[in-house]
Amino acid sequence: MIFGARPVRRLVRVGSVPVGGGAPVSVQSMTKTDTRDVAATVAQIHQLTEAGCDIVRLAVPDLAAARALGAIKAEITLPLVADIHFNHRLALEAIRQGVDKIRLNPGNLRKPEYVSEVARRAGEAGVAIRVGVNAGSLPPESRARYEAEHGPAEATARAMLDAAKEQIALLEAEGFHDIVVSAKAFDVPATVRAYQLIAAACDYPLHIGITEAGLPPAGTVRSAVGLGLLLAGGLGDTLRVSLPTDPVEEVRVGRAILGALNLRRRGLTLVVCPTCGRCEVDLRGLAERAEQRLADLDRRLHEQGREITVAIMGCVVNGPGEAREAHVGVAAGKGRGVIFSHGHPLRTVEEGQVLDTLVEEIEKVVREGSAPAPPTTS
């Protein structure tokens, strides 16, 4: 990897998923359903599972939601995280219901005795805890002492570090060390700086993300920039892309970010040229139809830990060369398409046969095992 080396941080297990310890960066999402609606929540988690999500988090606003966690847990395979704010009793009930991790927000759970009690119960049950700092819930005075000297972004980062260290100390005082740490803000520079400070202060694995990133495409871009900077700097053991969309889209974007950095590639990677005046086919339509046809293959490869890169290019002259790393691809021209593999032409077919032929060649590559499994560590 040409970016910053990714240090091996302390290993914490969230159910069956290792976080830190050199494990691949895992992708998380959060359900958008009412947690008290068990059927709807389970259905959404199943969709996330099919999309390649590794860990799922649920809002726990009240006791009824906390008591629903056990029924949800019984119907899913993903590790389950309970998102707790303000009321430590909800964390205790979530632990009783069998969740795999608790997220605590230091800005909203400030009484040391409550944090200590949650730590004791979590330790007894083998439940991990994320110290989830959010810039929006920091008390104003925590930033004020740094702003005059450092400016707003650095002040926010240092205040988030202080909040994380204070709660980590409470957990450690109870002998609890199955800790994951996050420090999220809307501001990208403040978030990146906060993670740099936290990484230097402790060896716990880092859950990274940009909070309240906004609607796509702006929110997707903001998340990609922030997460890309962190990952390229060697920081991040698990991530969530926070978008006000179907949570499946969060997973897709998270996987795409990891794939773009060659940190974790599994499933289908579709390379599509942007088109120009040379393009003589409906390339976007062809790419969209291919993505639909290959959706089941994408799911199968993800489950197997394998990946395949497929290129759909709009220029017969340059297409194969520009996508020479693809396992299979097509360079489409007027009335025809050249099917190629690793930049080498295989055959030319009529335009109406392009999609069927492309899918046929892809299935052949997968069947013959020439689409390799990606590295298991990053």
- pLDDT tens digits for range 3-47: 767 888 999 999 999 999 999 999 999 999 999 999 999 999 999
- pLDDT tens digits for range 59-98: 999 999 999 999 999 999 999 999 999 899 999 999 999 9
Identify whether residues 72 and 206 lie together within a single domain.
yes
Identify whether residues 249 and 278 lie together within a single domain.
no
Least Cα distance to 208 among 231, 178, 233, 179 occurs for 231
Mean pLDDT of the 290-310 span: 88
Domain's final residue, options 226, 260, 294: 260
The alpha carbon of 291 is separated from its chain's Cα centroid by a whole number of angstroms, namely: 21
What lies within 8 Å, CB to CB, of 287 at 6+ separation is 270, 272, 312
- pLDDT tens digits for range 219-272: 999 999 999 999 999 999 999 999 999 999 999 999 999 988 988 777 888 999
Give the predicted TM-score (pTM) of the model.
0.89
Say if 57 falls within a structural domain: yes
Identify whether residues 73 and 210 lie together within a single domain.
yes
Residue 375 is predicted with a pLDDT of 45
Structural domain harbouring 316: 267-367
Mean pLDDT of the 309-324 span: 81
| Total tally of structural domains belonging to the chain | 2
The whole-angstrom separation of Cα 190 and Cα 151 is 10
The whole-angstrom separation of Cα 154 and Cα 177 is 28
Identify whether residues 311 and 239 lie together within a single domain.
no
Q: Which amino acid is at 284?
A: R
Identify whether residues 113 and 228 lie together within a single domain.
yes
The whole-angstrom separation of Cα 250 and Cα 257 is 11
Identify whether residues 256 and 294 lie together within a single domain.
no
Identify whether residues 99 and 30 lie together within a single domain.
yes
Identify whether residues 163 and 189 lie together within a single domain.
yes
Identify whether residues 210 and 277 lie together within a single domain.
no
Cis peptide leading into residue 140 (ω within 30°): no
